Amino acid sequence: MTYDRQNFKVPIEGGDYQECSEFVIEQIQSILKKALGEGRNKIMIHTNLRLGLPMENINKVAGPFVEAWAFEVFHDALENEGNVYSLVNVEAQERLNMADVVLQFKRERKHRSSITAAVDVKATAEDFEKSGRSPNITSYARIRSAYVVDPDYLFVILSLKHKVYSTKNGGTGMMEGVMEVVDHHAYDLKYVSSPDLSYNPALGTGQLQVRDIHYVTIEHRSTWEFCQMLDRKFLNSSRRSLEGWKRLAIQNGWIKTDE
């Protein structure tokens, strides 16, 4: 039994996938650039702490704040009468979903009239040197299956860099925290280069990680090439085997069987 001799279900994306991917990334970047340019990049945190926020641990709670901010920015873009982004729907996702926000853009295609993008928001701290290094993205088996079910699946990693500081309210004398989004980058997971993606076998079927979310190289590939790359990373792990991979493949419907 070898990997290459398996009877794979080969996902084939639409001919306009790359064009759609680039369109979505451009719209996301434009929406965020406008928000930052207009000064809508601050999250105010009001507490009764007289000495301010615990800055050494603030990165532990930043994620949910930044995710909520991103959702509001996209929702505002949707509701704005001057919506120029072709954005037609914005949905926040439940906690255990692969994505934090799902965006839908109107765009005429051969067989569809819209593009749906699942967006995973990653908060990284400007003030912490190692922030953004090897964040968990999603489960290997889960994302591998998603591309078999939908070869046009568009999974976007949105990196939002923030900094936090405290200011004193002159009226109350209390310290108020300000979480400020200062930079943003969006990437199509399928196009993240192989050296930039790593596989951590420690959790479940393993987690995909981005080595450094601030510095990502783009490498265009097909959905099938991406699935094969993921499989290689799984099989190259010292904790994994071809037998283990085949069990996952059968369980998740990645290969055809006679049963």
The continuous run of DSSP H or E covering 140 comes out as helix 140-149
No. of H helices and E strands in the chain? Answer: 5, 9
Annotated domain spans of the chain: 16-190
Q: Which amino acid is at 82?
A: G
CA distance from start to end of the chain: 18
* Residue 2: Cβ-neighbour burial (10 angstroms; 0-12, 13-18, 19+): exposed
**Which residue has tokens 């930039």?**
196
pLDDT in tens, the chain (259 residues): 799 999 999 999 999 999 999 999 999 999 999 999 999 999 988 877 777 777 777 777 888 999 999 999 999 999 998 889 999 999 999 887 899 999 999 987 777 789 999 999 999 887 666 666 778 999 999 999 999 999 999 999 999 999 888 887 777 777 788 899 999 999 999 999 999 999 999 888 999 999 999 899 999 999 999 999 999 999 999 889 999 999 999 999 999 987 5
Adjacent-strand bridge partners of 219 = none
Residues 6+ apart with CB under 8 A from 137: 120, 143, 157, 189, 207, 208, 209, 210
